[in-house]
Copies of this chain bind each other. A is one copy, B any other.
Amino acid sequence: MKNLIIASTSTIHGSGYLEYLLEELSVLFKNVNTIIFIPYARPGGISYNDYTQKAGETFAKINKTVKGIHEFDNPQEAIKNAQAIFVGGGNTFVLTNQLYKNNLIETLQTVVKNGTPYLGTSAGSNICGLTIKTTNDMPIVYPSSFNALAFVPFNINPHYLDPDFNSTHMGETRETRIKEFHYYNTPPVIGLREGSWLQVKDSSIILKGTLTARVFEYNKAPYEIKTGTELNHLK
């Protein structure tokens, strides 16, 4: 019954917030009037209210109402009763920390398994993997665990960035970082470039968007997959 869009980014360069995804979102949220928004990741430290308003303005274009989870006295009940859920981007550590603090991990797992449509972008997509160990974010708070929602049986690296061979900067490339991940962990990692998303329906996981994605499997050379590729086999 799963029904998710796991997007690399909310915004592609030169386009408005969620604009490139709106058609897809009309389909994902077809039978939905109100979406519960989880603004915990707070990009740039934006307030929950301002962030929720930003999401609301965008979803108004496809005639959906957005309510922030912080507007409810009981966030667990808000999730249990949600018609649909959107988890926005920002800092993955801050987001994960707040999900654990509010005891929302299992609740989210249950409702999404039972069919509540879910949209994640950036940090909200990172948490759809097994762990947040392949986030690009700065660890500005210490969550009680790096374990995430495990909606897919692998890890996500959103905003995947190819190595810049002209760079003189000595910091690690994204590919190097993910390879280091595999010295300590075995799950596959999907490097999702900006503009790509995973569409999850029941046990089907398909790469969408125009770009290829980069797959990192333990003890294997990384490889590219085309849009439309089924990822069900990855584990």
Report which A residues bind B (CB closer than 8 A): 9, 11-14, 42-45, 90-91, 93-94, 132-142, 145-146, 159, 161, 168-172, 176-181, 183-185, 194
Contact = CB atoms under 8 A, between A and B. Distances in A.
A135 B139 contact: yes
Contact of A138 (B91, B140, B178, B194): B178
A177 B94 CA distance: 12
Contacts of A94: 180, 184
Given A91-B180, A180-B45, A145 B146 contact: no
A48 to B, nearest CB: 12
A194 B170 contact: yes
Contact of A141 (B132, B169, B184): B184
Contact of A11 (B135, B159, B170, B180): B170
B138 A135 contact: yes
Given A13-B168, A133-B142, A140-B181, 7 more contacts: A11-B170, A43-B180, A44-B180, A135-B138, A137-B177, A138-B181, A140-B183
A183 B185 CA distance: 31
Contact of A139 (B90, B139, B161, B168): B139
Contact of A145 (B12, B138, B142, B180): B142
A138 B169 contact: no
